[in-house]
A and B are shown apart, each in its own frame.
Chain A
Amino acid sequence: MLPCGFAVNSLRRRAMVLLAALLPVLVTSAFEKFACAQSALRGTSPAAHPGVKVTFNRDIAPIIFRYCSSCHRPGEAAPFNLLTYSDVKKHARQIADLTRSRNMPPWLPEPQEAKFIDEMRLSEAEIDRIERWVEQGTAEGDPTDLPPQPKFAEGWGLGQPDLILKAEKPFILPAEGTDTYWNFIFRVPLPSTRWAKAIEIRPGDKRYVHHANLLVDRAGAARAREAEPGAGFGGMEIRIETQVFDPDSHLLFWKPGTVPAPEPEGMALRLDKGTDLILNTHLQPSGKPEIIQPSIGIYFTPQAATKFPMLLQIENDRELNIPPGVKDFLVQDDFTLPVDVDVMGLYPHAHYLGKDMLAYATLPDGAKKTLIHIPHWNLNWQAVYRYAEPVRLPKGTVVSLRYVYDNSEENPLNPNHPPARVVGGNRSSDEMCHLWLQVLPVNFDPAQGDPRMALQEALARHNVEKNPGDFEAHYNLASMLQAKDNVEGAVAEYQAAVRLRPEDATANNALGAALVAAGHSEQGVGYLRAALKARPDYFDAHYNLGLALAGENDFAGAADQFRLALQLEPRDANVEANLGAVLAEMGRFEEAKVHFEHALTIDPNQPIAKENLEELKKAMGGR
């Protein structure tokens, strides 16, 4: 036996952070060219004066070109073109009706102080002008008044992407029925980490895709849901577990009219070897079967990210328990920011009962800022909204949600007829009360650690206080405490999580690992065995149990666990080094040497193997 024993590698703290990760790309759309042309015309149109006949060329075309043509053109989402006089005349009354009711152009938020990029909101004067044009007989007017036709990028909006991925298998949208939600998995074939400055989403046939969210899945967690690789899977909301604290950071989103734009300077999106991108699509039947086969185009940059935003998910689904017939069911939440942030954009989200959605901030000085107000929510036109200028919210600001739901017969979109009780959940017939804020921490001291962890911890603590039965909140709070080396606090929160889900493999593994780290190997062993009972092929739990048993001087038991771990991941240098260490402890030097050497062929710098091999050689007398 060696005098000082063999060093055993540190615990594998693969604590999972369960982020309910909806991960939209926020794409800024750009209609700059027309914005300029139009601003000159606004308010100065001769048709603004009563008595002057409204003409298409002079008064209407500028409105149509600016607000309508980007979607109403060949290959885009809208069902017919609005590019010429005859196009527009053929839908003139419909346009007058739909603009008056503000169904078109689709833009849900009310005007507010904090402006969004590409607001698609007509002025009352513009709406009046369209109406008068129709009433007066849709005159074409003087050809010389017609502004030039808008120009749009053909093909990929940002030029040829560096990498184009097409969904492996198309989804066949049935001819009839109700809304369908389908998820496509793109396996990004990267040999090593790259940085993406933009990802353009081409959702397949744009006429049938209402919107799409792109989610980053770094652990291949969604693959298990495919019936066969590449097949995709159904479901309106998807959750992705991440192995380490690696919070979602970008709002990757497509809706009709989206023009792709690069992420802000310094905010490239990291794509690792093995990263999957999941495109979550909302589809509506057209009357005939449609083939939906999306693609994504990735634009790389050599510039690694220097700014690290985070998606802050504020929610209160637990309060969603809406009796049938109730027209104004209010759900609220108030979250206090622990650090200064710039809000870059946001993504409010509810399902079919959502009616009025308000989010506002109360600053430490008492001032109130509306973040967004959607008085007539429509799931079909949900969108990511990005601010023209980031909204600065200092530490101590309270972010408040006030969402109102209509579960009465008067809500035509009610999934139940007659109305039935609706609770929070991921199915389209359930309801949600979520707001994702893309925030960039500012004014922080890097020496104090990643400020996003403070945000995550505060949010988890807030959710635990609000709902002691929130498994994910306990789990995430534990992860954040563990990351701060508050092991006792982490153990208490993991225990709360395990009490809520006694058979959850992930939580049992994390609790077991935390107990071992806190020096309670004996207690840890029980939870790690529970994790393996729940999931026998759980690599991390085998590894952690091996370490725990080694800590209890059960080297044979430890060796068994490391061997089981190696069956699952044969080229793991840590496991090889630790297996070598326990074998050496048992005096099986020749076998130990093989495993140390194997560890070093996998990773020549594996420190435990290096150190132990030298010790071993000394013990074996230089053999």
Chain B
Amino acid sequence: MRHRLQFFLTPIVAALAVSSGVAWAQAALDLDGHAVNPLTAEAGKVAVLVFVRTDCPVSSRYAPVVQQISQRFAESATFWLVFPDKSETPESIRKYLAAYGYRLPALRDPGRVLVKLSRVQIAPEVAVFDRNRRLVYDGRIDDLYAGPGRARPAPTTHELEDAIEAAQAGKSVARTDVRGVGCYLADLP
């Protein structure tokens, strides 16, 4: 497990919160090009960022699962899809959302602000922030993939759901980071 410096994290988030709404070049953008800070929205809820790539089959295969989990926790958690690839246009993302039946709000993260904040490395990975916007989990959604090209018949662990439940209850998460199987975000332009 990675060593965590959680006491640094909160101020960084706070700094981001302050700067949201300011059109600084590095901010995450919605599909209309407005700077958005997903961590200042819906303050009473747990926040979940789902990092995806349109060109990653493992990432795409999770679309129905992510959509279902977001519905299951609709009352208590707010979900955002994050596309870190600079070369993705709002149009290409809208097309992708429609094809895969996503109904979640989507953000572009060309400056990797959310990627850095979330410590994620792979698409698909998720970051779960509690109501205090403390990062409580980053990593895979579940263990469907045991390795590249090695999908189980069904997942046997459910890290994302466990983390949301823990964050809701104010409990600590058993495993705070479990790396996913998929495509590296660092390879992206």
Contacts and interface: CB of A to CB of B under 8 A. Distances in A.
Interface of A: 79-80, 86, 89-94, 97-98, 101, 103-104, 106, 175-176, 178-179, 207, 284-288, 352, 378, 380-381, 412-415, 417
B154 to A, nearest CB: 7
B7 to A, nearest CB: 31
A93 B100 CA distance: 26
B55 A90 contact: yes
A175 B63 contact: yes
A89 B187 contact: yes
B55 A79 contact: yes
| Pairs A-B, 6 closest by C-beta atoms | A412-B146, A287-B63, A79-B57, A176-B64, A287-B60, A80-B55
A413 B57 CA distance: 18
Contacts of A97: 148
Contacts of B187: 89-94
A86 B189 contact: yes
B49 interface: no
A176 B65 contact: yes
B181 to A, nearest CB: 10
A412 B152 contact: yes
10 contacts: A89-B187, A175-B100, A175-B101, A287-B100, A288-B63, A288-B64, A412-B150, A413-B150, A413-B152, A414-B153
A489 to B, nearest CB: 46
B95 to A, nearest CB: 12
Most buried by A among B57, B65, B147, B186: B57
B148 A103 contact: yes
B149 A175 contact: no
B158 interface: no
A179 B154 CA distance: 10
A378 B101 contact: no
A381 B183 contact: no
Contacts of A104: 148
Contact of B61 (A179, A285, A417): A285
A93 B64 contact: no
A175 B68 CA distance: 12
A91 B146 CA distance: 20
A231 to B, nearest CB: 25
A93 B152 contact: no
A281 to B, nearest CB: 17
A98 B60 contact: no
Interface in B81-126: 99-101
B73 interface: no
A79 B56 contact: yes
A345 B61 CA distance: 35
A415 B153 contact: yes
Given A91-B183, A288-B60, A412-B146, 18 more contacts: A79-B55, A79-B57, A86-B189, A90-B55, A93-B186, A94-B183, A97-B148, A101-B148, A176-B61, A176-B64, A178-B153, A286-B60, A288-B63, A288-B99, A380-B150, A413-B153, A417-B152, A417-B156
B154 A381 contact: no
Interface in B20-57: 55-57
Contacts of B150: 378, 380, 412-413
Contacts of B148: 97-98, 101, 103-104
A103 B188 contact: no
Interface string B153-179: 110100000000000000000000000
A40 to B, nearest CB: 30
Nearest to A429: B153
Contacts of B101: 175, 288
